[in-house]
Chains A and B, each alone.
Chain A
């Protein structure tokens, strides 16, 4: 229960940060008239990816099944890889180091995504162990029940 809420809220918060951060918090460069820079499109794409991550977080809080949460957390990790690759590989940001998007927005997205990746890996390992444990408990209980029936 504790793990479910903590990790769910973590994915929700980081998802919202990735989604809204480049537009409102650690802003990318402002557009000049009709001229859109690369960082503008990165910020737009991050809105969708961040929201997806946030939705994973909400579902993770709502669902108690360990197996579904395991799948959600693996998905969150992969989504975070996508979020990190937008400003670095897939779209990029302005080339000038002094620009906001280069100095602040891209590193922020990268750090948040890395945190999500680490948390999702660690929690997936934890959930995997939990699921194995629950299967073993189930087997033990059914064995005990069948032996009682035999007696």
Chain B
């Protein structure tokens, strides 16, 4: 099978199995393109499915770790707005009395409480879009500070900001809110939550922002120095969710404060249910597509090998061993598998990564892309699984053809 082919230029090129397989595939260009297209669809779906499920699981894990608080207490009727701000960074403003923090910290089983203050920036201010500004108390905070990446060595000072990971501003940059500029002192790590698009500041800076807003004619409905938007609550280890929930509701009712209590476990469980449902559909779809592709490829290879019976018999007469013929058929299938898998993976890279923000916005679920080494591993896995689909589909047809006797094959149809 290995011969010397004389090229038009006069140089000699080795005619090996791969060269013959390439020539065969080139000659049947339409069939080869269709088969490669099928493998490409399979590879695209498999890799996309793997990346989506891994990103959603990552988002879920990040959400579980980074919610920080066990309970979040917000003014009555604002639970949906709060969840929008927390999960998706949708700007929202709502206020209740600052004394809520003190009341909650006295409840048995609660070890930490910290207030937060929400302001919505003007859409024309810093960046031509509305941003959720969150005021927090660095001294009592246990929600924001753990996720500020390295740079911030001290407590946040007046006039300084921390920005979410998806905002492009770097440490040292300035951001303008209601006509005044503030310095970015730190950036938050990626959380997959609304924190990624929010801006954080201490209460003094938040008051500055509110004063400037008032000058610009924007009045938020709150009492200066006495209002907050939410209280983040940390309970003792192994706490009873319903017991603490009831205790919070009772104590606030006694104090005459109307509030909603959001348990982070409930948020996590709800999001987790949605994600698991989505992952289930992706898995079922991927498996069905893989089976369909292998069946289709098997059918096409069977027909193709069947119509090439005589060609293969001639090769046997010319001295090709059964092993070489098997190599030829598997070589063609492997080339189709490899080519298709590469095309599919390239397309998936072109769609998934540039449009990851759009995908995450459309899914409306916590979404954190895996690190590069994990992406490389998933790409390799998809490549191997889809690349193997071609040779796997050609096994039966290849063995059937080499099993036949040459004489019987040549005399077929006479």
Contacts and interface: CB of A to CB of B under 8 A. Distances in A.
A111 B131 contact: no
B292 interface: no
B355 interface: yes
Interface string A12-42: 0000000000000000010010010100000
Mostly, the B contact residues are loop
Interface string B188-204: 00000000110000000
Contacts of B127: 94-96
Contact of B128 (A29, A103, A114, A136): A29
Contacts, number: 54
Interface of A: 29, 32, 35, 37, 92, 94-99, 102-104, 106-108, 110-111, 114-115, 136
Contacts of A32: 123-124, 128
B359 to A, nearest CB: 9
B124 to A, nearest CB: 5
Given A103-B357, A107-B354, A35 B197 contact: no
B124 A35 contact: yes
Interface centre among B89, B169, B351, B355 (most CB of A within 10 A): B355
B155 to A, nearest CB: 26
Contact of B354 (A35, A95, A111): A111
Contact of A97 (B9, B124, B354, B357): B357
A111 B357 CA distance: 14
A92 B358 CA distance: 17
18 contacts: A32-B123, A95-B167, A95-B168, A96-B131, A96-B166, A96-B167, A97-B166, A98-B361, A99-B129, A103-B358, A104-B358, A106-B354, A107-B354, A107-B355, A110-B354, A111-B354, A114-B350, A136-B9
Contacts of B9: 136
A37 B125 CA distance: 11
A108 B123 CA distance: 25
Nearest to A40: B128
Contacts of B355: 103-104, 107
B9 to A, nearest CB: 8
A97 B197 contact: yes
A29 B123 CA distance: 12
Contacts of A96: 127, 129, 131, 166-167, 197
Nearest to B175: A95
Contacts of A37: 128
Contacts of B128: 29, 32, 35, 37, 94
Contacts of B166: 96-97
A113 B89 CA distance: 31
Contacts of A29: 128-129
- A-B residue pairs, 6 tightest by C-beta: A107-B354, A96-B129, A95-B168, A37-B128, A103-B358, A97-B166
A111 B350 contact: yes
A126 to B, nearest CB: 15
Contacts of B89: 98
A7 B154 CA distance: 58
Interface centre among A98, A99, A136 (most CB of B within 10 A): A98
A35 B9 CA distance: 65
Nearest to B90: A98
A102 B350 CA distance: 16
Interface centre among A37, A94, A107 (most CB of B within 10 A): A107
Contact of A95 (B169, B350, B351, B358): B169
Nearest to B196: A97
